[in-house]
Structure 1
Amino acid sequence: MKRVACALMVALLLAGCSDDPEPAPKAAPAPFADCAALTAPPAQATASPGPAPADAAPLPDIALPCFTGDATVQVSAIRGPAVVNLWGSWCAPCRDEMPAFQRFAERAAGKVHVIGVDTHDTREAGGSLAEDLGVTYPNLYDRSERFRIKLSGRPLPVTLFVDQQGKIRHLYNAAALDDAALATLAAQHLGVTLP
């Protein structure tokens, strides 16, 4: 009886030591693109729309983690043309305008960086909203709202139009943007006209 129990135990132990272990479950895909290219101008960027106004402020000198992966981005090193949108999953106008930012990102690929900053939110809520809306452009994560506070604490959503030197050409903080308004502001403040 002891021999049978020992043989059974050895067989069970050997079964667990197989050369072909069960594959690990695949991680869920990240909702947003990587942030690696944000500190260089877009590959097909056009010339700047002229000198920045004297009152054009630089982007804040803060570091924020990329929503995807573990990289950190120095916000002041972001180079445009770029459209930076501060949003939160809890913000109704933010949710309304995010699909327009996604469509703009698709049309502006290689010409304009489109960057989101998930603000005062949880990664779970932000990622879930992005998946629901099909948002894939790069996003930074700012749980403690440092970026928004540096912009005089304006309520969300906030959209910045940033030139190639990292200067804020325009700060938009009004009604949710739609496709036409976003395209108009990009043309006006960044000199970028899209088909």
Structure 2
Amino acid sequence: MISTLRAAAIVLVLAVAGCGGSAEPLAAEAASPFADCAALTAPPPAAAPVALAGAGEPLPEVTLPCFTGGQEVTVSAIRGPAIVNLWGSWCGPCREELPAFQRFADRAAGKVTVVGIDTRDSRPAASSLAADLGVTYPNLFDPSERLRAKLGVTALPATLFVDRDGRVRHLYNSTALDDATLATLAAKHLGVTLP
């Protein structure tokens, strides 16, 4: 009876320890507030082709991990209409405009894809800010600023308006965007008007 209890105790200890070769528990990663990136390379289902003047430049060939889940996404494969916003938690104007991007993403669901590129940042700082501001649209993670460098942008925030073919129709790199300006730029450069 005693040996049966000892055997049961050993099995219980091993089960609790996880038999992982280490007595230390694995550190749990904080949950990401952002949506996954599974649909970024397909146009929104309700998007209709819009004839726009000029060809536009293709999105740069940069592959970045999705903030949520970590799968790799090649930026040049993102199809629009899409709005791609480079931001960082350390950037004051970025912090100011993130809520406008979330409101736009909510209103434009099925018409325009909104994508964030968390730039020169840490995951904990970005997650914390996004959770505080209620930002949930998909984000890619670019701590080494590879996309910013390819675009030749020297300051954040920077916002790309991308057509269905993955071509940049406009690069906005100035003050923080508000709801009205964001809607105006989407209508002008993507041909998308929201109610």
Amino acid of the structure 1 residue aligned with 2:47: A
Query: Aligned pair 1:185/2:189, yes or no?
Result: no
Query: Can you list the C-alpha shifts for 1:41-92, whole angstroms capped at 9, x where unaligned?
Result: 11111222x24524x2110011010000021001111100000000000000
Query: For residues 14 and 63 of structure 1, what CA distance do their matches in structure 2 show?
Result: 45
Q: SS in structure 2 opposite 1:84? A: strand
Classify 1:117/1:17 alpha carbon distance in 2 versus 1 (closer, same or farther; 3 Å): closer
| Structure 2, unpaired ranges of 5+ | 19-27
| Structure 1, unpaired ranges of 5+ | none
Q: Which residue of 2 aligns with 1:77?
A: 77
Percent identical pairs in the alignment equals 64
User: Could you say what the CA RMSD is over the residues aligned between the two structures, in angstroms?
Assistant: 2.5
Within a 5 Å distance, the mapping from 1:123-138 to structure 2 comes to 123-138=123-138
Cα pair 1:52 1:167 within 8 Å, conserved: no
Number of matched residues? 186
TM-score (norm. length: structure 1): 0.87
Query: For residues 17 and 171 of structure 1, what CA distance do their matches in structure 2 show?
Result: 57
Query: For residues 57 and 4 of structure 2, what CA distance do their matches in structure 1 show?
Result: 76
TM-score (norm. length: structure 2): 0.87
Q: Which residue of 1 aligns with 2:93?
A: 93
Query: For residues 14 and 149 of structure 1, what CA distance do their matches in structure 2 show?
Result: 54
Q: SS in structure 1 opposite 2:132? A: helix
Q: How far does residue 13 in structure 1 lie from its aligned partner after superposition? A: 3.6
Selected match of 2:45 from 34, 43, 54: 43
Amino acid of the structure 1 residue aligned with 2:114: V
Q: How far does residue 173 in structure 1 lie from its aligned partner after superposition? A: 0.7
Query: For residues 17 and 122 of structure 1, what CA distance do their matches in structure 2 show?
Result: 35
Cα pair 1:158 1:173 within 8 Å, conserved: yes
Q: SS in structure 1 opposite 2:170? A: strand
